[in-house]
Amino acid sequence: MLTDKDIENKLIKFICHNFLVEPDEFNLEESLVDQGVIDSIGLVEISAFMEKEFGITVSEADMDRKNFGSVKKMVAFLVFKGA
């Protein structure tokens, strides 16, 4: 079973690779959209990655600030979903 840190590291690696940023260029506690790292299409890409990588289903209703508001919130969402 993956730890929270394992999940966080996978998300960071995906974000850095796909959105051409370095880990020190964004804050894990703040919105990636607000920081200018991604846009709404980026959120869709991240949700598709989550489904493929962690074997979960992300509904449209799941894609809100509570679950996708920051990397830390995404990790909590994935843990909740059983990743």
Tens place of pLDDT per residue across the chain (83 aa): 889 999 999 999 999 999 999 999 999 999 999 999 999 899 999 999 999 999 999 999 999 999 999 999 999 999 999 98
pLDDT of residue 83: 84
Cβ contacts of 7 within 8 Å, gap of 6 or more? 54, 75, 78, 79, 83
pLDDT of residue 7: 97
Cα–Cα dist 82/9, whole Å:
17
Cβ contacts of 73 within 8 Å, gap of 6 or more? 65, 66, 67
Model confidence, pTM:
0.93
Both tokens assigned to 55: 């074997």
Show me where the domains of the chain are located. Answer: 4-19+27-81
Cα–Cα dist 70/75, whole Å:
9
pLDDT of residue 18: 97
- Homologous superfamily of domain range 4-19+27-81: ACP-like (1.10.1200.10)
